[in-house]
Chains A and B, each alone.
Chain A
């Protein structure tokens, strides 16, 4: 019974990953204590049993509980906190304990084309979607988030290169909006980029449609998310006419540039530590197999020796 509780608890950690309780000290102490109780009781029963098949069954149950208990406690005590990996379209990120994450491409016309893929050693590439994907000691899920695709042109309409010297991808025009700033009581995501050809540094602050409506007179008609651009020169001095709001991806003039920002949804990947999938499966199989074998042995033993006392089985 206690063995079943241990394995069930670890299976629940796999099925409902990411709960804070799995990392609580009391939870893991309880898991370890239950596992030790099973091993001590199992050892006693193992010694008492005379039937070879029953001993084997008890050993399997003990091993299964130990493996699952170890997997659960290791995950609870050693595993890192949840991590979210945010990549620019087309970017490839090597995650040391997992493999290579490749983020799908996008363009000003299309949001993400395809899904994030994970390439693992000895495995093919798999698409990471909103359903959990189990990879050894981790479970991965794609979570949508808002990013901004920017385009910069000079005032004659010539397109200019956008760079992100402090971003995760230098040559990406997609701003991942990983920083936050409070403006007028609103907590807003922002990012920045450079336009080297024009010697401009641009800060972009993203507003939802509702937030944008509170900013602009008559903004209720906007009905679309918007991006506020603030343009500085390379010495961080504001350029002439430095601020403009681009709603719905429309071009605006600021700081001697024509800028447009499209808010689009793009996947990030959340990685949550779980008990090792293989170890948990092996533990559960050993426990269930041992339990079944013990019951069968017990029943056949009873029918073969009906006069024996029940405690032999």
Chain B
């Protein structure tokens, strides 16, 4: 048997042994994918209502950069972050950026009262069944997800962001857009 054949057989044996054995040395443990885990994937689209009862959906936001912020009125960091989101909306008006606040699990009345108290002008959606929260495996509130104009997740954040962090996160998309 030629030397090449022996080497080929040895290589095949090693490859087969690797395929057969390797998976058992990686324990099939899991980790929940947070919002960052969705980067590169199309954001799920749920049919929701806004705080005034109008039907809303991410499908209507194609072609725009979307900053989606999950929040609730009982969450102090959400309250602290909201004015910066409003500032982001104003600073980027006319630049193809939409800010959407998604209330997780509360009534429209409570969400609207909260938004009014902070003079929030961007759209507030009501996610009563907490579908976005579940899908983004939010580790807490607030959670922020940024989508490109095609609706693909480009960034995901757990916890509150400052205005500077928000600007830095959307700037590359604005330059491309």
Query: Judging by beta carbons under 8 Å apart, are B23 and A197 in contact?
Result: no
B contact residues around A249 at 8 Å (CB): none
A contact residues around B141 at 8 Å (CB): 171
B29 near A: Cβ within 8 Å? yes
What's the least CB distance linking B146 to chain A, in Å? 18
Query: Judging by beta carbons under 8 Å apart, are B134 and A89 in contact?
Result: yes
Stretch at the interface among B59-67, B70-78, B164-172: B70-78
A186 near B: Cβ within 8 Å? no
With A161-B130, A168-B32 as given contacts, are A74 and B20 in contact (CB-CB < 8 Å)?
yes
Query: Judging by beta carbons under 8 Å apart, are B32 and A169 in contact?
Result: yes
A95 near B: Cβ within 8 Å? yes
What's the least CB distance linking A242 to chain B, in Å? 21
Query: Judging by beta carbons under 8 Å apart, are A80 and B134 in contact?
Result: no
With A90-B135, A159-B107 as given contacts, are A80 and B130 in contact (CB-CB < 8 Å)?
no
From 128 to 180 in chain A, residues with beta carbon under 8 angstroms from any chain B beta carbon are 136-138, 157-162, 168-174
Q: How far is the CA of A98 from the CA of B44 in the complex (A)?
A: 23
Residue of A nearest to B26 (CB): A97
Residue of A nearest to B105 (CB): A161
A25 near B: Cβ within 8 Å? no
Please count the residue pairs between chain A and chain B whose beta carbons lie under 8 angstroms apart in the complex.
134
Query: Judging by beta carbons under 8 Å apart, are B23 and A173 in contact?
Result: no
From 94 to 109 in chain A, residues with beta carbon under 8 angstroms from any chain B beta carbon are 94-98, 100-101, 105, 107-108
Query: Judging by beta carbons under 8 Å apart, are B130 and A173 in contact?
Result: yes
Which of A75, A94, A196, A279 sits near B30, CB closer than 8 Å? A94
Query: Judging by beta carbons under 8 Å apart, are B74 and A169 in contact?
Result: no
B contact residues around A67 at 8 Å (CB): 16, 20
Query: Judging by beta carbons under 8 Å apart, are B24 and A74 in contact?
Result: yes
Query: Judging by beta carbons under 8 Å apart, are A96 and B29 in contact?
Result: yes
Chain B window 1-45, contacts with chain A (Cβ cutoff 8 Å), 1 for yes, 0 for no:
000000000000000110111011111111111000110000010
Query: Judging by beta carbons under 8 Å apart, are A137 and B24 in contact?
Result: yes
Q: How far is the CA of A202 from the CA of B19 in the complex (A)?
A: 48
Q: How far is the CA of A95 from the CA of B23 in the complex (A)?
A: 12
Which of B16, B105, B129 sits near A279, CB closer than 8 Å? B16
A181 near B: Cβ within 8 Å? no
Query: Judging by beta carbons under 8 Å apart, are B23 and A70 in contact?
Result: no
What's the least CB distance linking A165 to chain B, in Å? 9
Q: List 8 A-B contacts (CB under 8 A).
A: A91-B135, A92-B37, A157-B107, A169-B133, A170-B137, A172-B134, A173-B129, A276-B20
Binding site for B on A (CB under 8 A): 67, 70-71, 74-75, 78-80, 83, 85, 88-98, 100-101, 105, 107-108, 136-138, 157-162, 168-174, 196-197, 271, 273, 275-276, 278-279, 282
Shortest Cβ-Cβ A-B pairs, 5 listed: A171-B133, A161-B105, A90-B134, A78-B24, A197-B74
